[in-house]
Amino acid sequence: MNSVIIHYHEIALKGRNRPQFINQLVRNIKNVTFDLDVPDVRVLPGRVELILRTGTSWDAVRLRIERVFGIANFSHATRADPDIESLARTIDAALGERQVSSFRVSARRSDKRFPLTSQQIEQEIGGSYQ
């Protein structure tokens, strides 16, 4: 499943009003993507996830959400099973036919129960492409 992970800055600092600001951000995201194939917008701890259906145009979504007030940054994301082999297969599928001479792997674990550290994930995934 493809999605967009959206991070916000200042609204996280609003204290007791924080849920109101986050809900307004979600409404704004839904408003700008209403005619795109976006089935759900979910609030996650410290971020918002915009779920995309297969075939939804990343360029169209990107152009819409980059103008939403309150968004600090966002990234296109794909889900994978929590194991190194599955992560490597998902990355291969995302790269498709593209050929690159060099690349970088950056990992941040939101689930600390994953058996490898972020640095170990980077080394394992990056090492599999040598």
Q: What is the pLDDT of residue 23?
A: 92
Domain spans, the chain: 2-78, 84-127
Q: Side chain identity at 12, as an amino acid letter?
A: A
pTM of the model: 0.80
Under the banding of pLDDT at 50, 70 and 90, the label for residue 12 is low
Question: Is residue 130 pLDDT above 90, yes or no?
Answer: no
Q: Distance (Å, rounded) from C-alpha 130 to C-alpha 127?
A: 6
Distances from the Cα of 27 to the Cα of 31, 51, 86, 103, angstroms: 6, 14, 34, 36
Q: What are the b/e assignments for 46-61, b being 16+ CB within 10 Å?
A: ebbebebeeebeeeeb
Pairing of strands 2-8, 47-52: antiparallel
Q: What are the b/e assignments for 104-120, b being 16+ CB within 10 Å?
A: eeebeeeeeeeebeeee
Which pLDDT tens digit goes with each residue over 43-63? Answer: 998 899 999 998 898 999 999
No. of H helices and E strands in the chain?
A: 4, 4
Q: What CATH number is given for 2-78 in this structure? A: 3.30.70.1510
Mean pLDDT of 7-33: 87
Pairing of strands 40-44, 2-8: unpaired
